[in-house]
Amino acid sequence: MPPVVELLYGRRPVLESLRARRRTFQRTLLSEGVRRDPLLEEIEETSLRLGVPFKVVPRTFFDERLAGLHHQGIALEAGPYPYGEATDWKTLLEQRGGNAFVLFLDHLQDPQNLGSILRSAEGAGVDAVVIPDRRAASVTPAVVRASAGASEHLTVIRIPNLVQAMRTAQAAGLWLSGLDPSPDAQPYDEADLTGPVGLVIGNESEGLSRLVAETCDFRLRIPMAGRMESLNAGAAAAIVLFEIRRRRSTAGRK
């Protein structure tokens, strides 16, 4: 058996990790006394089909290992998250017919924000997510839980230098749009979001760093009608990601 590296928890995250089959698995663990439902039945069936032992364990296991977490009585002993390799952007653009869709995250710190954004990215059809490997949240079990398991189906790439990765992507033909609440940024619903697009989301408290903002080809803002100046990173990302998805769907029907 491979060594246990991470303990994933929650019904949907566990099921999606099993479905994705991108990690190594050791055991699926169910807390004794938990009422069965169709989702748990599917988790057991999928585990056994993949040759992953399914075991009922005392509640004390969850009390000790996952205290205070919303585990729903289910956990999965799994290997580390399978980050993608550094992307050959030209190849990606060729494979996507010039219609690549990439998300760059500028040092997000909050696991809940990262998980929420990864869930939106997977739903919007993003091809790859690029995150820094230092001073930023990584894909931990808490992030998998916050993404409802969507992270397990995504290609997430960790790189040492975000600006350098952005410039390499631009040289290959990707147009980068940074989300920025500044009044001189272009309203997102007026921007050209078709073709090979890279969306850049800034840090929760500081937004886009200076070099990242300067590297972007465009800066986009979400017009606000109330007294608040901006939305949080997760909500803002979801709005623009699905607007890009809508534009692409509309263009495809023409």
pLDDT tens-digit profile, the chain (254 residues): 445 589 999 999 999 999 999 999 999 999 998 888 999 999 999 999 999 999 999 999 999 999 888 899 999 999 999 998 776 777 777 777 678 899 999 999 999 999 999 999 999 999 999 999 999 999 999 999 999 999 999 999 999 999 999 999 998 889 999 999 888 999 999 998 888 999 999 988 888 999 999 999 999 999 888 877 778 889 999 999 999 999 887 765 44
CATH topology of domain 89-253: Alpha/beta knot (3.40.1280)
Q: What pTM value is reported for the model?
A: 0.92
pLDDT in tens, 35-89: 889 999 999 999 999 999 999 999 999 999 998 888 999 999 999 999 987 767 7
Cβ 117 vs Cβ 108: under 8 Å: yes
Two tokens, residue 9: 């928890």
Fold (topology level) of 6-78: 60s Ribosomal Protein L30; Chain: A; (3.30.1330)
Distance of CA 144 to the CA centre of its chain: 8
Residue 77, burial from CB neighbour count under 10 angstroms (0-12, 13-18, 19+): buried
6-78 against 89-253: fold identical: no
DSSP state, residue 206: T
Indicate the SS3 state at residue 62. helix
Express each pLDDT in 25-37 by its tens digit. Answer: 999 999 998 888 9
What is residue 82's DSSP assignment?
-
**Where are the chain's structural domains?**
6-78, 89-253
